[in-house]
Every structure is written in C-alpha cells, then in structure tokens.
Amino acid sequence: MAEAAGQDVLRAGSPLRTPRSAALAGILFSVLLITALTLLELSVPAHPGAPGTWLTDSRRRTAVAIALNLVPFAGIAFLWFVGVLRDRIGDREDRFFATVFLGSGLLFVGMMFVAAAVGGGIIAAATSGPPGAGTLALGRNVTSLLLNVYAMRMAAVFTLTAVTIARRTAIVSRWLTVAGLVTAVLLLVGVGISAWVELLFPAWILALSIDVLVAGRKAERLA
C-alpha cells in the first residue's frame, strides 16, 4: 500500500516537474548555442576561402575553441529538452509528427557535433603550424555546409513539427506558433543570406522554454 501510494505521489508530481525540466534544458541550450554561434561569427572570417592568417591570432583561436567546446553541452541540453517536451505531450502525441520531430532533432544535434569536430580539427592542426590553403578551405567548407545548410534545415523541420504539435495540443501560447512558423521559413530560405539568421532557432527555443516555465508555475499555483 505504501509503495502504491508513493507511486501515486510521483505520478501526481510529474506534470509539475516536467515543464520546469524542459524549460531549464531549453534555456541552457539556447544560451550555449547563441554564445557559441556569436563567438564563431565574430572570430572566423565569413568567406570559407579567406586566408588562414586569422588562425595565428591567439584570441581568435581561443574564442573559436570556447565556442566549439560549448557545442557538446548545447547538444546534451537540446536532447534533454526534446525528451522532456515529448513527455509533457504524452498520449496526445501524433506518431507521424513525433517521428519527424524526434528525427529532425537528432539529425540537427548529430550534424552540429560533426561540424564542431571538423572545426576543432582545424584549430588543433593550426597549433602545430598553419594548415595548407586546400586543407583549410576543405575544412571551412565542410563545417559551413554542415552547420549552415544541413543542420539549420533540420532545425527548420524541427521547428515546423514542434509548431504543429504545439498548435494541435495547445501546450504553448499562440504567438509562439506564429513566431515558430516565421523562424522555420527564415531558416529554410534565409541562412544563405546572413549567418546571423541561425540565431533565430535558439532564440525561438528560448522563448518557448520561458513560456513552458511560466505555464508550469501557473499549474503549480493552481494545484
């Protein structure tokens, strides 16, 4: 009887804890990714074919190294965010959208990790001497394509499916669904125009997380 009562308490408490966990993970992911992307944009020349003389600047190398080291922690926080958010949706989750939602999220994290690994390899090679122009151009192009083309397109798909699920289950504010649609469209077509468009994805996740956190606190007060 005592064990059953304890399980009932855990089940009763999970709806209150789950939104807070998702919100904290989403906020952590957003802060880490925004920091990493900003450091990369400010430290690395925009054109992949730019000479590698910037690698001789210790401050730039340090900033890039910090950014690349933040990526794994951002990815872990994002996976936690996805898992906890799915738990909040629960039985209302549609299998089709759930598959696309989870798959695009995993692909986004995987491509982001590979891009960071390639970038980290370039920085590590630069410590023993300036890399060749061909090697540097290849590494920069691979990193740029993985992050700006493929990862951000998966982020757009993730945002679209998240918006669809949120609209059908009514788990977030309506303005966030509209902002999510705008973010997804810009990620699909606008990344090539400006690299700063990438910041829209973590910014939207940040807004979504804050909304989830506020909703969870309201639920706690009403309980």
Residue 141 lies in a domain: yes
> Which of the four pLDDT bands, split at 50, 70 and 90, describes residue 155?
very high
* Across 195-202, average pLDDT: 88
- Higher pLDDT pick, 96 / 207: 207
Residue 185 lies in a domain: yes
pLDDT in tens, 44-87: 766 655 555 567 777 887 888 899 999 999 999 999 988 877 77
Long-range contacts of residues 202-206, Cβ cutoff 8 Å, at least 24 apart: 202/29, 202/30, 202/31, 202/33, 202/34, 202/37, 203/30, 203/34, 204/159, 204/176, 204/179, 204/180, 205/26, 205/29, 205/30, 205/78, 205/81, 206/26, 206/27, 206/30, 206/31, 206/34
Query: Is the predicted pLDDT of residue 38 greater than 80, yes or no?
Result: yes
What is the pLDDT, as a whole number, of residue 7? Answer: 46
Total tally of structural domains belonging to the chain:
1
% of the chain with per-residue pLDDT over 90: 30
Indicate whether 7 belongs to any domain. Answer: no
Domain coverage including residue 132: 18-222
Q: Residue 10: inside a domain, yes or no?
A: no
Average pLDDT, the chain: 79
pLDDT score, position 5? 41
Judged by DSSP in three states, 219 sits in helix
Buried b (16+ CB within 10 A) or exposed e, 146-160: bbbebbbbbbbbbbb
Residue 221 has pLDDT above 70, yes or no: no
Model confidence pLDDT, tens digit, residues 8-37: 433 444 443 556 777 888 999 999 999 999
d(CA 51, CA 46): 11
Q: What is the mean pLDDT of residues 112-124?
A: 86
| pLDDT tens digits, one per residue of 129-154 | 666 667 777 777 888 888 888 999 99
Identify the CA nearest to 152 among candidates 25, 14, 33: 33
Residue 1's pLDDT band (cuts 50, 70, 90):
very low
Q: Is residue 100 part of a domain?
A: yes
Identify whether 151 is part of a domain: yes
Task: Evaluate if residue 2 carries a pLDDT over 60.
Answer: no
In angstroms, the first-to-last Cα distance of the chain is 24
Give domain status of residue 6, yes or no: no
In a domain, 38, yes or no: yes
